[in-house]
Structure formats: C-alpha cells, structure tokens
Amino acid sequence: MELSDADLLARVVVDGDHHAFGELVRRHQSPVRGMLRQLTRADVELADDLAQETFIRAYKNIRSFRGEAKFSTWLYRVAYNVFREHARKRKELVGIDEEQLQQQADPQTTDPALRHDLMSALGQLPLHERSAIVLCCQNGLSHDEAARVLDIPLGTVKTNVLRGREKLKKILSAWAT
C-alpha cells in the first residue's frame, strides 16, 4: 500500500525518517523541476540546482508546513522563493533584470525558428505572467493555490493568467499564419 504525503511527512517530522523524505522527493521532483525549468527559461542545469536547493530547504523547514495547503503547493512556494532569491542575487551580481531580458526577448527580434517553440514564447512573458501561466495552465494549480504560491492576491493571479494567455495567443496566431 502506498503511503500518502501526510503519512510520509509524519514520519519525517516525528522519526526524522530520511527514506520517507526521499519518497516525497521522488514523487514531487518532476513538477518542481518542470516549473523551475520554465521559470529559468529552460536552463536545465540551473533549474536542477534550484530544485535541489528547494528540497533541502523544504527538509530543513518541514516543521513549518502546517498542512493548511497541499504539500505540493507548499513545495511550489519554496521553489518559487528559491528562484526569486536566485534572480535577485543574479540581478545584483550581473546587473541583469527582468526588464532587460524582456527587451532582449522581443517577439519581433527573436529568431523565427524559436517562435515555434512554446518555451520561447513563455520566455517572452514577464516573470509574474509566466509564473502564473506555468502554475495554473501547466501544473494544474487553481488560481487560489497559485495565489498562495506566489504570495499575491487572487485577483492579480487571474489578471496575470488572462494577460499571459492573451500574449501567448497572439504569438500562437502569428505562428498559424
């Protein structure tokens, strides 16, 4: 019989059971790594480093998970925070920020071959819209869950998803012609 996330969490918290935490990592590694790949614009190596950091931080702070949301939602939140911290450090060190990347990834200047790749289309969205699209449309989170992960109001999530989708549709319609 397969144990639920709650059972495994209980084992980690009460008994410090490493194997139980390993099982949680195995179960959730794919969506967490997938989300981080999208947020890092498909930088697989960086995304996997951030995913490792996510699980290590989750382990260290596992007692702060109170079961008010799903464990996966909590993990997404940890992953998003890890990504935000990395992005902030990168901006401080290299001076690259989202707006700059945004200008670099202008749809009009992007290689036409890349336009046919949804990854590149997603990469053209600003971070707040990209995060909302990745969580809600790709990972199947509800708007409410995404609001918890991103720590923003529910209405803002809905707006970001709507705007992001409109932009993606424009890019897609350009592909279709």
Closest CA to 110 of 102, 20, 173, 84: 102
Q: 18: buried, middle or exposed (CB in 10 Å: 19+, 13-18, 0-12)?
A: exposed
Residue 52 sits in the site that holds another protein (CB under 8 A): yes
Residue choice 64, 103, 109, 173 for contact with another protein (CB under 8 A): 173
- Least separation in angstroms between residue 117's CB and another protein is 9
Q: Does 66 bind another protein (CB under 8 A)?
A: no
Task: Provide the token pair at 70.
Answer: 């799903």
Residue 153: exposure state from Cβ atoms within 10 A (0-12, 13-18, ≥19): exposed
* Contacting another protein within 10-29 (CB under 8 A): 11, 13-16, 18-23, 25-26, 29
CA–CA gap between residue 32 and residue 34 (Å, rounded): 5
Give the binding site for another protein (CB under 8 A). 1-3, 8, 11, 13-16, 18-23, 25-26, 29-31, 33-34, 38, 48, 51-52, 55-56, 59-60, 63, 118-119, 122, 133, 137-139, 165, 168-169, 172-173, 176
